[in-house]
């Protein structure tokens, strides 16, 4: 049966990339105008949220969002989440009315079409270059003064499916401490299962997303960076492990019910 699904999954994946290409081309005149001046970023963000919802729902997904704490308008936050799928940035965009400035890998700017807009909308960092990291800090400070928030996937890309959460980099926590921004931990439970990095895996379904209570940084110093990083990592990692065990138990019980004899 799984081999019969390969062609359907291939078509479904191709559909995703077609959606990206077509929508980017259609939006390009508006994006070029809105990114021509930083004062238009709020309007650009509204367009991005529309795009995020469109992509998610056009791929046959739905969002089920739980928020333990709501963000306040015009306040800067550090949004962090596990990175398990190509759709993760769009999930983060869809969840926040507050404009978020993403910090991303410089290598993605090389992608055709997408890269053209990526390098205009994202603060790019070359993690191997200390000078690049310093330039990122300078650009972020200027944008935070405008009331923007920051979005970072601190583990980077994790293509393997057997790792719930890879170790975190320091960037998100250094920035949140320097500018005393609350950390907003988000957990994406189903992104890896429903839209895996594997081209022939995944299927439409519901993305369960949880926004945890914020981790405050007020009064903390750079000496607290490691403990702050560890606290955030443990929160997200424990949620993912707990959910993985729950899903396995649920599948096991469903299989037992399915194969259980009605005469037993």
Q: Label residue 221 by pLDDT band (50, 70, 90).
A: very high
The 10s digit of each residue's pLDDT in 133-184 is: 666 777 777 778 778 899 999 986 665 677 889 999 888 999 899 899 999 9
Cα–Cα dist 188/82, whole Å? 6
Q: Which of 111, 112, 92, 113 is nearest to 103 (CA)?
A: 92
> For residue 250, is pLDDT > 90?
no
Which of these, 187, 172, 160, lies nearest to 230 by C-alpha position?
Answer: 172
| C-alpha–C-alpha distance, residues 237 and 231, integer Å | 10
Q: According to the model, what pLDDT value does residue 116 have?
A: 66
3-state helix, strand, coil in the chain (%, to 5): 55, 15, 35
Shortest CA distance to 179 belongs to which of 96, 68, 103? 103
**DSSP classification of residue 159:** -
Predicted pLDDT at 264:
45
User: Domains of the chain by range and CATH?
Assistant: 2-253 (3.40.1130)
pLDDT-derived band at 78 (thresholds 50, 70, 90) equals very high
């Amino acid at each position: 049966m799984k081999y019969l699904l390969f062609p359907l999954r291939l078509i479904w994946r191709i559909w995703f990339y077609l959606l990206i290409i077509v929508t980017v081309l259609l939006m390009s005149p508006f994006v070029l105008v809105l990114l021509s001046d930083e004062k238009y970023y709020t309007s650009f963000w509204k367009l991005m949220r529309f795009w995020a919802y469109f992509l998610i729902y056009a791929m046959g997904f739905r969002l089920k969002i739980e928020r333990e704490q709501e963000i306040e308008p015009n306040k800067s936050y550090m949004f962090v989440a596990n990175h398990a799928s190509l759709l993760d940035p769009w999930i983060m965009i869809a969840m926040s009315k507050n404009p978020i400035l993403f910090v991303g890998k410089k290598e993605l700017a090389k992608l055709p079409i997408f890269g053209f807009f990526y390098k205009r909308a994202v603060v790019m960092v070359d993690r191997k270059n200390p000078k690049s990291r310093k330039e990122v800090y300078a650009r972020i400070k200027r944008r935070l003064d405008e009331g923007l928030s920051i979005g970072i996937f601190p583990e980077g890309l994790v293509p393997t499916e057997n790792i719930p959460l890879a170790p975190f980099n320091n960037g998100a926590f250094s920035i949140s401490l320097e500018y005393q921004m609350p950390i907003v931990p988000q957990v994406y439970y189903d992104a890896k299962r429903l839209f895996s990095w594997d081209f022939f895996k995944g299927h439409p379904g519901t993305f369960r997303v949880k926004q945890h209570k914020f981790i405050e940084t007020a009064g903390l110093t750079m000496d607290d960076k490691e403990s702050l990083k560890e606290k955030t990592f443990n929160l997200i990692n424990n949620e993912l492990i707990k959910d993985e065990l729950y899903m396995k138990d649920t599948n096991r019980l469903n299989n037992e019910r399915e194969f259980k004899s009605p005469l037993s």
